[in-house]
Structure 1
Amino acid sequence: MDNNTVQLVELNKENWYDCCTLEVSENQVNHIEPNAVSIAQSKFEPSLKPYAIQYEDKFVGFLMFNTTLEELDGYWIYRIMVDKNYQQKGIGKKATKLMIDEMSKLPNCKKIVVGYHPENIGAHQLYASLGFIDNGDRFGKEMAVVLNI
């Protein structure tokens, strides 16, 4: 897959509803909030930056990250999802790399952190392949992995 076919587009009035209609596969439903909830959250927490994931000419995913330092002295990835019809094509990995590039530009960015349920094998494989390390940090039901920048 060519890097140019996957792009991050800031969420706006033209694409937000497209993101609300995207769905994860049935076995992922319990691991992630619906996009509509994340979009609403971003309106009340202005440090959260939501993006649509565009593949060729379609919106196929959604992601969101925080622009303020949080736990573990890092910037946190809040959401990333790819619609069930576009999974297993490398889109999520390309989008995550683009998100890491954006987050790396934030002030004093030394760590990027993401939390997920330990049984979410897909998330574990994705983040491990990108260099995230499990240092044993746990927050409630989620494990947190860290990428040192």
Structure 2
Amino acid sequence: MITLQPITDQNWYTFCQLTLSDAQQAYMEPNAISLLQAVYEPTLEAHAIYEDETMVGFLMYNTVLEELNARWVYRIMVDHAQQGKGIGRQATELMLEEMGQLGTEPIVVGYHPDNTGAHRLYESLGFVDEGNRFGREMAVIRRA
């Protein structure tokens, strides 16, 4: 069973130990940076992803509107040893439900165009590439 749980003083170190594959590391900041970002940007909502009692990943999104008049997904990661089991998809679905409770505004996620795994996931969840680009990332959008 996949759940989203807070990152606390009891689990933050485990959170920082989660890693991506070598090939994926170029696409995302280290978890410690994401944790600091969540601490210093109070509109960010960060969650550890658990499979039963084991922390297996992390996600973070903004609770306020940003570019494209949308809420942005900042991070979704599943530890390299836990990938390929559908955890990322299940956790993303839970996050999208949670974000949907904030309003009906679009949801945007940015990722590097070469990240084919991210592309397949977001496309399967109804995100569409409308041509938006921010730096080295493409931004796909899901409208209510």
TM-score, normalized by the shorter chain, greater than 0.5: yes
2:66 is aligned with 1:75: no
Structure 1, gaps ≥5 residues long: none
Query: Where does residue 57 of structure 2 map in the other structure?
Result: 61
How far apart are residue 10 of structure 1 and its match? 1.6
1:138 paired residue number? 133
Number of residue pairs aligned between Structure 1 and Structure 2: 144
Separation in 1, partners of 2:85, 2:41: 32
Shift of 1:13: 1.3
2:17 corresponding residue in structure 1: 21
SS of the residue corresponding to residue 8 of structure 2 reads coil
Alpha-carbon distance in 2 for matches of 1:76, 1:109: 13
- Indicate the RMSD between aligned Cα atoms, in angstroms: 0.7
Deviation at 1:147, TM superposition (A): 0.7
Partner of 1:32: 28
Moved over 2 A (4+): none
% identical aligned pairs? 52
- Report deviation, 1:11: 1.6
> TM-score normalized by structure 2?
0.98
1:77-123 CA-to-partner distances (Å, cap 9, x unmatched) read 000000000000000000000000000111x3321100000000000
Rounded Cα–Cα distance in structure 2 between residues aligned with 1:74 and 1:15: 30
Q: Are 1:99 and 2:91 an aligned pair?
A: no
Give distance in 2, aligned partners of 1:16 and 1:73: 32
* Structure-1 residue corresponding to 2:142: 147
Unaligned segments of structure 2, at least 5 residues: none
